[in-house]
């Protein structure tokens, strides 16, 4: 089952659109190019199979509680690097849709890690 990917608003839409535009017009720096490439690959994998082994997807229950009971999932953007990036996402709002609600470095603080993660709003499906 392939899913369509939506970007949470406004932060995730701004992040993705900004990276895409800079890469298209050649103004992206090295870090922005790398982020765009890694994020694009991870989003393709999530759309094809959210449980792809390389993503190591799992629910983050503390964020699920904070996001109003909607299950929040974490997938790896990268691994084995300091503060490796993570993608936070939810199913919905429509059927076969996934909404990205956060892209953050992996928090090193075990006790309060989830409090530091910024989550975007989910744009509601058009009726």
For residue 84, being part of any structural domain is answered with yes
Q: Structural domain tally of the chain? A: 1
| The overall pTM is greater than 0.85 | yes
- Chain centre to alpha carbon of residue 79: 15
For residue 125, being part of any structural domain is answered with no
Which of 45-49, 78-82, 106-110, 114-118 holds the top average pLDDT?
A: 45-49
For residue 13, being part of any structural domain is answered with yes
What band does 16 get if pLDDT is binned at 50, 70 and 90? very high
CB atoms within 10 A of CB 21: 11
Please say if the pLDDT value at position 125 is more than 90: no
What band does 20 get if pLDDT is binned at 50, 70 and 90? very high
For residue 127, being part of any structural domain is answered with no
For residue 49, being part of any structural domain is answered with yes
For residue 124, being part of any structural domain is answered with no
% residues pLDDT > 90 (the chain): 66
DSSP H stretches of helix in 10-82 = 11-25, 30-48, 61-66
**Per-residue pLDDT tens over the stretch 98-124:** 999 999 876 655 556 677 788 888 765
* Residue 101 CA: distances (Å) to CA of 28, 68, 80, 123, 127: 23, 13, 23, 10, 21
CATH code where residue 24 lies: 3.30.2310.20
Question: Which residues, including other chains, have CB under 8 Å from residue 87's CB and lie 6 or more apart?
Answer: 39, 42, 43, 46, 74, 75, 76, 77, 100, 102, 103
Beta bridge partners of 102: 88
3-class SS of residue 85: strand
Q: Which domain holds residue 48?
A: 4-116
For residue 33, being part of any structural domain is answered with yes
For residue 126, being part of any structural domain is answered with no
CB 61 within 8 A of CB 114: no
Compute the average pLDDT of residues 85-104.
93
């Amino acid at each position: 089952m392939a899913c369509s990917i939506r970007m949470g608003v406004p932060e995730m839409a701004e992040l993705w659109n900004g990276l895409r535009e800079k890469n298209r017009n050649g103004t992206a720096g090295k870090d922005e190019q790398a982020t765009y490439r890694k994020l694009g690959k991870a989003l393709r994998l999530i759309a094809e199979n959210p449980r792809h082994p390389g993503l190591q997807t799992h629910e983050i229950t503390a964020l699920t509680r904070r996001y109003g009971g909607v299950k929040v999932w974490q997938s790896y953007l990268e691994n084995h690097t300091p503060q490796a990036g993570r993608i936070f996402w939810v199913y919905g709002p429509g059927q076969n849709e996934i909404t990205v609600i956060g892209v953050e470095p992996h928090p090193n603080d075990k006790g309060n890690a989830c409090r530091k993660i910024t989550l975007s709003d989910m744009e509601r499906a058009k009726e």
